[in-house]
Amino acid sequence: MSLSFFDFLDQLAGNPALAVTVLLTLAVLLVNGWTDAPNAIAGAVVTGALPFQWAVLLAAVCNFLGVLCVTAVNASVAETVYSIASFGGGPRAALTALCAAMAAIVLWATAAWRLGIPTSESHALVAGISGAAVALEGGLSCIRFDCWAKVLLGLFLSTAAGYWAGGTAQRGLGRVKASPRFFRLAQIPGAAWAAFLHGAQDGQKFLGVFLLGTALAQGRSDEQTFLIPWWLMALCAGFMALGTLMGGRRIIDRVGRDMVTLGPSEGLAADLGSTSCLLLSTLLGLPVSTTHTRTAALLGVGAAGKGPVNWSVAGEIALAWLLTFPGCAAIGYGMARLFLVLLL
């Protein structure tokens, strides 16, 4: 699938449902940059490696570059999200259901931000889309379980491997004889790399939604390979970067201060552990949650280091993770049923 910018504008002008879907997707991108990307810079901020404002600017730039650079050479994560479920019933009904899915994700992510819980918009995305598709089709036959298998494999990798990698990195750095200043300086490229990989993972997922919306508007959704235009990559990257610039201090405090106690070496270990898992997942084309990977690595670092881990806070975050799949699927289903009754 190849789409020019002017063709895209023509589709928006002639299809209000597609226009609303695009606006809601851009809103989710903003929320993702606002609530998810701060995890990448949490360690650098709480250890004093970077002031909050400079760390946010660094994350915004690296998120932008991550979307552009990685998607240009490997778009398999976008294709997985694009194919997660099939939408029938004609273009108008399909786009109405997709609108409902995006609205459900905005509601879920905003509620999580209010509570300071770093939930995963990635998992909210696949659950909301799946729930809306089931409401439209009236059964589970529309779900692509092979794509869901990749999501669940990514979930395991992001938590188990993230925890192991964070602990391993912490034990390795514990043997390094260096000053706290050295570790703080090393955290700056570590945070930049983490933000870059966040853009590479999460930016691709929303690119898949954009392409799905334009395909449904034309009455088709069976593309298995497609070309992602540069202007669409830039649009997604720009909105994610803008969302990151909006802040995210509440979530940084939650994972970097309330859950674990981080020093300079612990912050660097969290960067190394989480980015190694994100890089492997991206190369394998697995749509993992950067939030889960980062938080699991922080817990691994805390458990392997000298600082205490607040397992109560960790339990609250894990509960939010467990509720994301059924919660967003249910909200997507309910909102799709409502939208379909009101608008069709």
pLDDT for res 129: 93
pLDDT band at residue 135 under the 50/70/90 scheme? very high
Model confidence over 322-336: pLDDT tens digits? Answer: 888 898 999 999 999
For residue 98, pLDDT over 70 is answered with: yes
Model confidence over 181-231: pLDDT tens digits? Answer: 898 899 999 889 988 988 888 888 888 888 888 888 877 655 555 678 889
Alpha-carbon span 183 to 201, nearest angstrom: 26
Q: Which of 26-35, 73-82, 104-113, 158-167 ranks highest by mean pLDDT?
A: 158-167
Kindly report the pTM of this predicted structure: 0.82
For residue 134, pLDDT over 90 is answered with: yes
DSSP3 helix / strand / coil % (the chain, rounded to 5): 80, 0, 20
Is residue 102 classed as helix, strand or coil in its secondary structure? Answer: helix
For residue 270, pLDDT over 90 is answered with: no
Of 3 and 7, more confident = 7
pLDDT for res 201: 85
All residues at 6 or more sequence positions from 320 whose CB lies less than 8 Å from its CB, including other chains: 112, 115, 117, 119
Average predicted confidence (pLDDT) for the chain: 83
DSSP-derived secondary structure letter, 142: G
pLDDT for res 168: 93
Model confidence over 228-255: pLDDT tens digits? Answer: 888 988 888 888 888 878 766 777 776 6
CA proximity to 87, closest of 218, 181, 182, 193? 218
- What amino acid is encoded at 23 in this protein? L
For residue 120, pLDDT over 60 is answered with: yes
Q: Where are the domains of the chain?
A: 5-343
For residue 117, pLDDT over 70 is answered with: no
CA proximity to 79, closest of 204, 252, 245? 204
Per residue, the 3-state secondary structure of 292-324, as one string, reads HHHHHHHHHHHHHCCCCECHHHHHHHHHHHHHH
DSSP-derived secondary structure letter, 143: B
pLDDT for res 82: 86
pLDDT for res 192: 92
Q: What percent of the chain has pLDDT over 90?
A: 12
Alpha-carbon span 250 to 257, nearest angstrom: 10
Name residue, tokens 């701060």. Answer: 38
pLDDT band at residue 138 under the 50/70/90 scheme? confident
DSSP-derived secondary structure letter, 289: -
Tell me the C-alpha to C-alpha distance, in Å, between residue 83 and each of 88, 194, 199, 202: 13, 27, 20, 16
Structure tokens at 159: 């938590």
pLDDT for res 2: 63
CA proximity to 29, closest of 230, 156, 198? 198
Alpha-carbon span 330 to 344, nearest angstrom: 21
Cβ proximity of 166 and 273 under 8 Å: yes
pLDDT band at residue 116 under the 50/70/90 scheme? low
Q: Can you list the positions of beta strands (E) in 3-85?
A: none
For residue 289, pLDDT over 70 is answered with: yes
pLDDT band at residue 131 under the 50/70/90 scheme? very high
Model confidence over 24-75: pLDDT tens digits? Answer: 888 888 877 777 767 778 778 888 888 888 888 898 888 889 888 888 777 7
pLDDT for res 45: 85
DSSP-derived secondary structure letter, 157: I
Name residue, tokens 């830039």. Answer: 234
Measured from the Cβ of residue 27, the count of other Cβ atoms closer than 10 Å reads 18
